């Protein structure tokens, strides 16, 4: 801004001719480069972490370069340079006090600053020949306009591609609509069973199913959805949260946020009506993923184990919801709060419930006795992770696997003693994918920073050794767990479905656009059921030949990161706004195997 060239009078009249001022060119190069960079970043389809850190780099580089150009520009006096910059900062600071909490400092920095700097340059270009007073007055208006654009907005999180979901701040949120609906709802809940609920064939008792691997076996479904689409049994609002479902007979369990209460729900599978709900005074929220619990309930031996986003571990009677015991794992471990909340689903094995708390030293994984909740053991397992513990059996020895920013560890489930480890240090990129045993002595890891890594485990006596067999960037899963079938790995990479050979880890195909949703494998039919990030339901062939999508139908509305579940011929899906249940038509030979089990 030639707010006042040092040789010019403060209020001298502007020349009659209007032309572009060359001294503005470097500023336009900086701002123009930023907008081009941001657009390219969105269309490249990069992994989530790369897009996220790319946005951060661009958002920090823009004000740094612009400020450098502004304060080294000799066409503007030092006083006016400082005055303009200080005015921009002052208006931004005032805006920061008035904006919606969801926009926050992140929105100010990465949305407000680019808008303000762009408008700044536009005004300087338009008013290049105006008087100093006019320029200063115009800049004040530009700063108020640019920063003020954030005032009427609310950010309801971001998508997997790091795009903000913006709404007018005065419009009701999905959570507020749900809470208002709850106050008016009067439900006649089904009677509580008089006998304990037990696991039976066809149940989906925990995160990603009985094997915690996202695989459904013994079931075949009709795939001609054009002629016989899934029948919607019920659809209704739910409080925010990223939990999936546990399904035991005709009972469905999940978690949600109800205002300041973190709640566990038991629903009737056929109707969606609430059987019981129990809550803790707890609320977790972050600006990117929003509010609510992240972990999926685990059913074992007539009990339900739930872990909240702040670390509250509850053991309840699955039939009645009665609390048996509870622990605050954050207090037990001394763990710092996780950026996106505690997200691992409890693992129950041999009378212990094992959860990750993320405490320092040997307070990473905690194992509580299922009968009375006393702490049996604790072990080091990193301090940053969004994965769940997984049970494996290698060379006849059962072990608990856990993947964190430190790498992969394997522990004796009875004592917590470390058997082996595979160091893979990365403090900058989150780990969110559950490790998977893919051979008698082989483990497959997946993450955005590592891609796919096959690890071989050698065992002799009391000695264990883990070594890298092969690593590949053919698939880089972010928080979309993969599945394995017939020597091939299927998952989502950058929002696209992807297939890789399990032995060579070479990519076989990549195609379709599903966003950052989740996959369920219907193994007997070589089918992938993909719940897309926008809530659609798609069927894709799980074959290495090519990407082949059979059908795609609408499911639910809103950003959908939760895992789908199929149990007893019903498909259950949800996100942080609504949930739904569909009846699937079963192939004749699968009807007997998938007979709906009624436990009450």
- Closest by CA position to 255, among listed 304, 320, 202, 302: 304
Nearest by Cα to 368 from 398, 326, 410, 318: 326
pLDDT digits 0-9 by tens, 219-247 = 999 999 988 899 999 999 999 999 999 99
Residue 52 pLDDT level (bands cut at 50, 70, 90): confident
- The pLDDT, as a whole number, for residue 403 is 97
Q: Which helix (H) or strand (E) covers residue 121, if one does? A: helix 113-126
- The answer to whether residues 287 and 102 touch, using CB atoms and an 8 Å cutoff, is yes
pLDDT tens for 364-400 read 999 999 999 999 999 999 999 999 999 999 999 999 9
Alpha-carbon torsion angle 250, 581, 294, 431, nearest 10 = 110
The Cα–Cα gap between 54 and 77 comes to 34
Contact 245, 209 (CB under 8 A): no
Domain membership of residue 201 (yes or no) is no
Q: Which residue has the tokens 């509305």?
A: 557
Bridge-based pairing of strands 507-511 and 274-281 is unpaired
Structural domain contains residue 496 = no
- Provide the residue range defining the domain that includes 96: 22-168
Model pLDDT, residue 15: 44
Task: Tell me what pLDDT residue 213 has.
Answer: 97
Has residue 418 got a pLDDT over 70?
A: yes
Looking at the predicted structure, is the pLDDT value of residue 598 above 80? Answer: no
Res 9 pLDDT > 50:
no
The per-residue pLDDT for 2 is 44
Q: Among 12-16, 33-37, 377-381, 545-549, name the one with the lowest average pLDDT.
A: 12-16
561: in domain: no
For residue 515, tell me if it sits in a domain.
no
Percentage of residues of the chain with pLDDT beyond 70? 92
Question: Is residue 139 in some structural domain?
Answer: yes
Q: Is 0.75 topped by the overall pTM?
A: yes
Q: Is 532 contained in some domain? A: no
Q: Is residue 33 part of a domain?
A: yes
Computed over every residue of the chain, the mean pLDDT equals 91
Q: Would you say 119 and 153 are in contact if contact means Cβ atoms under 8 Å apart?
A: no
User: Is there a domain that residue 383 lies in?
Assistant: no
Most confident of 5-9, 111-115, 163-167, 415-419: 415-419
Query: At residue 186, does pLDDT exceed 70?
Result: no
How many domains is the chain built from?
A: 1
């Amino acid at each position: 801004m030639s707010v006042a060239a040092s040789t010019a009078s403060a209020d001298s009249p502007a020349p009659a001719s209007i032309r572009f001022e060359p001294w503005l060119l470097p500023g336009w190069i900086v701002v123009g480069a930023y907008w081009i960079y941001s657009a390219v970043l969105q269309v490249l389809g990069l992994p989530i972490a790369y897009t996220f850190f790319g946005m951060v780099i661009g958002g920090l580089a823009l004000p740094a370069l612009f400020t450098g150009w502004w304060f080294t520009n000799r066409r503007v006096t030092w006083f006016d340079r400082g005055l303009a910059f200080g005015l921009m900062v002052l208006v931004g600071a005032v805006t920061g006090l008035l904006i919606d909490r969801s926009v926050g400092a992140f929105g100010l920095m990465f949305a407000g600053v680019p808008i303000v700097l762009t408008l700044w340059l536009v005004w300087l270009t338009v008013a290049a020949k105006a008087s100093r007073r006019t320029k200063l007055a115009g800049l004040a208006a530009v700063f108020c306009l640019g920063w003020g654009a954030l005032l009427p907005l609310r950010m309801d999180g971001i998508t997997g591609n790091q795009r903000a979901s913006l709404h007018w701040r005065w419009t009701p949120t999905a959570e507020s609509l749900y809470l208002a609906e709850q106050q008016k709802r009067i439900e006649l809940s089904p009677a509580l069973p008089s006998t304990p609920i037990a696991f039976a064939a066809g149940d989906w008792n925990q995160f990603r199913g009985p094997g915690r691997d996202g695989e459904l076996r013994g079931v075949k479904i009709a795939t001609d959805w054009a002629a016989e689409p899934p029948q919607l049994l019920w659809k209704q609002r739910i409080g925010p949260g990223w939990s999936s479902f546990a399904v035991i007979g005709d009972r469905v369990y999940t978690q949600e946020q109800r205002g300041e209460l973190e709640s566990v729900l038991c629903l009737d599978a056929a109707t969606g009506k609430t059987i019981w709900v129990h809550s803790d005074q707890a609320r977790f929220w972050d600006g990117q993923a929003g509010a609510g619990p992240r972990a999926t309930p685990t059913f074992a031996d007539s009990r339900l184990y739930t872990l909240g986003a702040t670390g509250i571990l509850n053991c309840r009677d699955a039939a009645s919801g009665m609390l048996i015991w509870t622990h605050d794992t954050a207090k037990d471990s001394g763990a710092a709060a996780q950026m996106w909340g505690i997200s691992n689903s409890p693992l129950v094995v041999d009378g212990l419930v094992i959860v990750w708390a993320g405490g320092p030293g040997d307070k990473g994984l905690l194992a509580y006795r299922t009968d009375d909740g006393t702490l049996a053991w604790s072990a080091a397992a990193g301090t940053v992770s969004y994965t769940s513990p997984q049970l494996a059996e290698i060379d006849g020895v059962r072990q608990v696997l856990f993947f964190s920013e430190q790498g992969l560890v394997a522990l004796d489930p009875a004592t917590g003693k470390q058997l082996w480890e595979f160091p893979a240090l990365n403090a900058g990129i989150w780990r969110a994918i559950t490790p998977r045993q893919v051979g008698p002595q082989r483990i497959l890891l997946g993450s955005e920073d590592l891609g796919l890594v096959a690890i071989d485990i050698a065992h002799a006596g009391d000695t264990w050794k883990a070594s890298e067999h092969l690593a590949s960037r053919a698939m880089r899963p972010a928080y979309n767990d993969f599945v394995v079938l017939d020597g091939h790995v299927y998952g989502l990479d950058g929002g696209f479905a992807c297939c890789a050979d399990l032995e060579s880890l070479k990519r076989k195909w990549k195609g379709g656009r599903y966003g950052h949703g989740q996959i369920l494998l219907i193994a007997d039919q070589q089918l992938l059921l993909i719940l897309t990030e926008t809530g659609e339901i798609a069927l894709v062939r799980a074959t290495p030949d090519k990407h082949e999508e059979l059908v795609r139908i609408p499911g639910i509305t809103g950003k959908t990161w939760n895992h789908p579940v199929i149990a007893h011929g019903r498909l259950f899906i949800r996100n942080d706004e609504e949930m739904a249940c569909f009846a699937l038509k079963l192939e004749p030979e699968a009807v007997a195997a998938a007979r709906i089990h009624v436990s009450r």
